[in-house]
Amino acid sequence: MGYQYISVIGQDSHRFSADPARPLMLGGCLIPDSPGLDGNSDADVILHAVTNAISGYTGLNILGARADAACRRGLKDSRVYLQMALEDLAAGSQSQASLWHCSLTLEASRPRLAPHIDRIRTKLAELLGLRPAQIGLTATSGEGLSAAGSGEGMACFCCLTIRLPEPEPDLRSRAPGGAASGARSGEPFAGAD
């Protein structure tokens, strides 16, 4: 059996919070001694970008009405939203789809993220059911060219690769001997040169 691969993208951004006690969560990890991001939830831009990428494949948005309803019930941990997206991926016509690779770029002029990259990759791999080698995570300062690059917040971009089994050929449309249904042996298909 062969496979087909589909790439989907997701993005998220949040401003830094004015609340000095708000924690910074990235990829399900607490980043110590760093200002937190503002939002209804824990504002984990990495998990939100991945959630949005999965929603891009399933067509079922999590961030927005569904996440807002969860926040009103006190569920502000972004791992809950990611789990909702993964459940959508596993349901219905998407049931044979599996995550294959996740590549992320995080833009922020602060805090310094290099010391946290491996820990975030490991946690994200655990949350997605992947190996750390299937998670690519880079960080850029943004050189002051955007709001995130100017220190106002953080932005994350995600490219997610999903693997699906190749569809089985539709043998019902083929007559015995390999000719298409309705065509006589030796006659070209309609529209053939």
pLDDT tens digits, 130-170? 999 999 999 999 888 899 888 899 999 999 999 999 887 77
Domain-embedded: residue 184:
no
Using the predicted structure, report yes or no on whether residue 75 has a pLDDT greater than 80.
yes
Domain-embedded: residue 190:
no
User: Bridge-partner residues for 7, per DSSP?
Assistant: 161
| Sheet-wide strand order for 98-107 | 3-15, 153-165, 98-107, 135-140
Across 32-148, where does the E strand assignment appear?
98-107, 135-140
Domain-embedded: residue 11:
yes
Domain-embedded: residue 73:
yes
Lookup result for tokens 């399900």: 28
Domain-embedded: residue 193:
no
* Mean of pLDDT values over 111-127: 96
Domain-embedded: residue 110:
yes
pLDDT at 176: 58
Using the predicted structure, report yes or no on whether residue 183 has a pLDDT greater than 60.
no
Cis peptide before 111 (omega within 30 of 0): yes
Between 74 and 102, the more confident residue is 102
Supply the range of the domain harboring residue 159.
3-168
Residue 179 DSSP code = P
Q: Are 150 and 109 in contact (CB under 8 A)?
A: yes
Express as a percent the part of the chain with pLDDT over 70. 87
Lookup result for tokens 């995600």: 158
Domain-embedded: residue 186:
no
Domain-embedded: residue 49:
yes
Cα–Cα distance for residue pair 64/84, rounded to 1 Å: 13
Helix (H, G, I), strand (E, B) or coil at 14: strand
CATH code for the domain of 120: 3.30.1330.50
Helix (H, G, I), strand (E, B) or coil at 58: helix
pLDDT band for 191, please (50, 70, 90 cuts): very low
Number of domains forming the structure of the chain: 1
